[in-house]
A and B are shown apart, each in its own frame.
Chain A
Amino acid sequence: MTSILTNLFDGVAYGMLLFVLACGLAVTLGLMNFVNLAHGAFAMAGGYVCMVLVNRMGWPFFAALPLAFVSSAAIGIVLERTLYRHLYTRSHLDQVLFTIGLTFMSVAAVDYIQGSSRVFINLPAALQGQFDLFGVGIGRYRLMIIVICGLLTIGLQMVLAKTRFGSRLRAAVDDPRAASGLGINVPQVFAFTFAFGCGLAGLGGALSAEILGLDPYFPLKFMIYFLIVVTVGGSSSITGPFLASLLLGIGDVAGKYYVPKMGPFVIYTMMIVILIWRPNGLFGRTAAR
């Protein structure tokens, strides 16, 4: 019984992490209809920035996390302004090719700069180990992830639903032409959202080094997971991707624990079945034009 709860806990932490990693993609792919396969590269950038700051420069872990966010967001906004924005109107094939190219470049570049082996971030002692709560093993690090990601999720939902920027974004997504007719600077809204999504990915990358492992192949290895979250979750709100991440996280952890021989089948099969059953995602509206 307790092992089920521990697994559930790990699964939730994993799912939350996936959500933070992928919710930027939910915006670009789901809302802006841009197939960004290079999303993992931004996460990797954040992870490596955090690693360098903590391990090499001796920054405290919690000070390095915001910087991981900022650096990924900065890379994101530069790339959006210089490259991505030319591709919004292109075909999906062009977008796929372009972002695969970017992914390959990021993989080789990080390999060149940091080497190809897996890196670890030195965690403060307070985050290591686990404690028992009513007999359920709770990892401190995972608990922290759940807290951070949970707060982020609530914050995102509030921003989208309550603020002026949130309503601008929703308007821009619903109908870019009408929105710009009303005086909303649509490219600016998209650029800002894109950068914010990249920043979240960077933060997720920094947090995930401990759980998912960080190496130059991160963008390729986890690309499918991000895509699953978005396609399964749909894009009408952030609740869809959030629930999809939790489902995927719990499913993956449980799958690896109870049927280890099946390996990653569980989630791939799950994804294909869901996509066949609901081609537009479990929750919400179509991601198509």
Chain B
Amino acid sequence: MSAASDVGYHAQRQARWHYGEVAFWLVVLACGFVFPSRYLIMTDILRLALFAMSLDLILGYAGIVSLGHAAFFGVGAYAAGLLALHGIVNEPVLALVVAGLAAMVLGFATSFLVIRGVDLTRLMVTLGIALLLEALAERFSNITGGTDGLQGIEMQPILGAIPFDMFGKAGFFYSLTVLFLLFLFARRVVHSPFGLSLRAIKNNPLRAAAIGIPVNRRLIAIYTLAAFYAGIAGALFTQTTAIASLDVFAFERSADLMLVLVIGGTGYLYGGLIGAVIFRMLQELFSTITPQYWQFWIGLVLVVIVLVGRQRLHRWVLYVPNLVIKQVAGRKAVVAVPESDA
């Protein structure tokens, strides 16, 4: 067997759906029916999961460290809010796509700034862009509502048929559908030759360039795609909560997002989803213990995670799922092996 077909064989094997993955999505869907009183928090988790998946695309697959991913979330959120408020695009699904595209345009424009320079410059530039947008949103308060945020957003029924209800049931299934569709697409992308080339870039940009991968163009493409995802997450936020305020751009949002991804692990797409669930549960736990100072405990979790070591932690997190999968599937293959990104 030649080397090329060998790589192809492994790539295809990786790309196949595993039982564990099917089970995962069935469990998520089942949650929608089992906990009818918890739609709001579950919707929140789905949004966060989508947002984290977006960061995973650039961090876990392309190795771009971003401290300002909230910029795209915020643009999506405000775009969706403004579209609904002024009745420009009334239909939520269409508005969602438009908001995502708005974030995507910004992502494309700023990707040229991000691909330049090393990690440190990237951190600074992404952080700067998010802060710049926050300042802009505050400055143009006649459009964005300033510190009060956009108020009085009324959402039209989804596809003109399903209205948003006050228990958040429609919002939950709407978010779940969006998340699942975008997940399918992301999964397709990362297992495509394009996705494999991204991994090559992440491991060693110089080597990737030497074997003929157009490094900068690939990075621009994935950064733009991630911006689209983050924009959609932001738009979902506005559509399901009917509010958009300045804190969508806040640094804390980008920092929390990193924590989500770090809890779940990068580079296998499920990290964001699992991390979002654990993060929200932790947050709920901490805010019931100390309502005002939960940030302290979040910080402590971050510190401990780094000191323990992310890879070791992920082995623990994935221990139970992998055990179950081994039992069910009855083979040695482990479904989820997070990559190192040192």
A binding-site residues for B, Cβ under 8 Å: 29, 35, 83, 86-87, 90-94, 96-98, 100-109, 111-112, 220, 223-224, 227-228, 231, 261-265, 268-269, 271-272, 275-276, 279-280, 286-288
Assess whether A224 is in contact with B306, with CB atoms less than 8 Å apart. Answer: no
Assess whether A100 is in contact with B302, with CB atoms less than 8 Å apart. Answer: yes
Assess whether B129 is in contact with A272, with CB atoms less than 8 Å apart. Answer: yes
DSSP majority for the A interface?
helix
Give the CA-CA distance A231 to B117 in the complex, in Å. 12
**Which residue of chain A lies nearest to B262 when distances are taken between CB atoms in the complex?**
A97
Partner of A262, one of B59, B118, B139: B139
Q: B285 interface residue, CB < 8 Å from A?
A: no
Q: B259 interface residue, CB < 8 Å from A?
A: yes
Total interface residues on B, CB under 8 Å, equals: 45
Known: A93-B65, A111-B293. A102 touches B131 (CB 8 A): no
Assess whether B259 is in contact with A227, with CB atoms less than 8 Å apart. Answer: no
Mark out the residues of chain B between 105 and 164 whose CB falls within 8 Å of any chain A CB in the assembled complex. 113, 116-121, 123-125, 127-129, 131-132, 135-136, 138-139
Give the CA-CA distance A279 to B116 in the complex, in Å. 7
Which residues on the B side are within 8 Å of A223 (C-beta)? 251
Mark out the residues of chain B between 240 and 272 whose CB falls within 8 Å of any chain A CB in the assembled complex. 251-252, 255, 258-259, 262
Assess whether A98 is in contact with B303, with CB atoms less than 8 Å apart. Answer: yes
Assess whether A276 is in contact with B293, with CB atoms less than 8 Å apart. Answer: no
Assess whether A269 is in contact with B139, with CB atoms less than 8 Å apart. Answer: no
Assess whether A108 is in contact with B295, with CB atoms less than 8 Å apart. Answer: yes
Known: A96-B65, A97-B262. A275 touches B121 (CB 8 A): yes
Q: B310 interface residue, CB < 8 Å from A?
A: yes
DSSP majority for the B interface?
helix
Give the CA-CA distance A29 to B120 in the complex, in Å. 9
Assess whether A92 is in contact with B135, with CB atoms less than 8 Å apart. Answer: no
Assess whether B123 is in contact with A92, with CB atoms less than 8 Å apart. Answer: yes
Assess whether B299 is in contact with A100, with CB atoms less than 8 Å apart. Answer: yes
Query: Can you pick out 19 interface pairs between chain A and chain B where the beta carbons lie within 8 Å of each other?
Result: A83-B303, A87-B306, A90-B306, A96-B65, A96-B67, A97-B302, A101-B298, A101-B300, A104-B296, A105-B303, A108-B299, A224-B131, A228-B124, A231-B121, A265-B132, A269-B132, A276-B125, A287-B118, A287-B120
**Which residue of chain A lies nearest to B300 when distances are taken between CB atoms in the complex?**
A105
Give the CA-CA distance A111 to B292 in the complex, in Å. 9
Q: B342 interface residue, CB < 8 Å from A?
A: yes
Give the CA-CA distance A109 to B292 in the complex, in Å. 11
Assess whether B305 is in contact with A97, with CB atoms less than 8 Å apart. Answer: yes
Known: A263-B139, A271-B128, A272-B129. A288 touches B303 (CB 8 A): no
Assess whether A272 is in contact with B132, with CB atoms less than 8 Å apart. Answer: yes
What 13 new A-B contacts, CB under 8 Å, besides A92-B119, A224-B131? A96-B65, A97-B305, A100-B302, A101-B298, A104-B299, A105-B296, A220-B252, A228-B124, A263-B135, A263-B138, A264-B131, A272-B132, A279-B121
Q: Nearest chain A CB to B46's CB is how many angstroms away? A: 24
Which residues on the B side are within 8 Å of A271 (C-beta)? 124, 128
Give the CA-CA distance A87 to B65 in the complex, in Å. 17
Assess whether B295 is in contact with A104, with CB atoms less than 8 Å apart. Answer: yes
Give the CA-CA distance A100 to B132 in the complex, in Å. 20
Assess whether A288 is in contact with B306, with CB atoms less than 8 Å apart. Answer: no
Q: B91 interface residue, CB < 8 Å from A?
A: no
Assess whether A268 is in contact with B135, with CB atoms less than 8 Å apart. Answer: yes
Which residues on the A side are within 8 Å of B210 (C-beta)? none
Q: B27 interface residue, CB < 8 Å from A?
A: no
Give the CA-CA distance A105 to B304 in the complex, in Å. 12
- Interface flags for B49-73 (1: CB within 8 Å of A; 0: not) read 0000000000100000101000000
Give the CA-CA distance A83 to B308 in the complex, in Å. 11
Which residues on the A side are within 8 Å of B125 (C-beta)? 272, 275-276
Which residues on the B side are within 8 Å of A101 (C-beta)? 298-303, 305-306
Give the CA-CA distance A1 to B25 in the complex, in Å. 69
Mark out the residues of chain B between 216 and 259 whose CB falls within 8 Å of any chain A CB in the assembled complex. 251-252, 255, 258-259
Q: Nearest chain A CB to B212's CB is how many angstroms away? A: 25
Give the CA-CA distance A100 to B252 in the complex, in Å. 9
Which residues on the A side are within 8 Å of B258 (C-beta)? 96-97, 100
Assess whether B132 is in contact with A112, with CB atoms less than 8 Å apart. Answer: no
Assess whether A100 is in contact with B117, with CB atoms less than 8 Å apart. Answer: no
The 8 closest A-B pairs by CB, nearest first: A101-B302, A104-B299, A108-B296, A279-B117, A105-B299, A101-B303, A98-B306, A101-B299
Assess whether B303 is in contact with A102, with CB atoms less than 8 Å apart. Answer: yes
Q: Nearest chain B CB to A159's CB is how many angstroms away? A: 26
Give the CA-CA distance A154 to B305 in the complex, in Å. 41
Q: Nearest chain B CB to A88's CB is how many angstroms away? A: 13
Assess whether A91 is in contact with B117, with CB atoms less than 8 Å apart. Answer: no
Known: A35-B120, A96-B65. A268 touches B302 (CB 8 A): no
Assess whether B296 is in contact with A91, with CB atoms less than 8 Å apart. Answer: no
Assess whether A231 is in contact with B132, with CB atoms less than 8 Å apart. Answer: no
**Which residue of chain B lies nearest to A228 when distances are taken between CB atoms in the complex?**
B124
Partner of B302, one of A98, A111, A263, A286: A98
Give the CA-CA distance A276 to B113 in the complex, in Å. 6
Give the CA-CA distance A224 to B128 in the complex, in Å. 8
Give the CA-CA distance A220 to B254 in the complex, in Å. 13
Which residues on the A side are within 8 Å of B136 (C-beta)? 265
Give the CA-CA distance A120 to B310 in the complex, in Å. 41
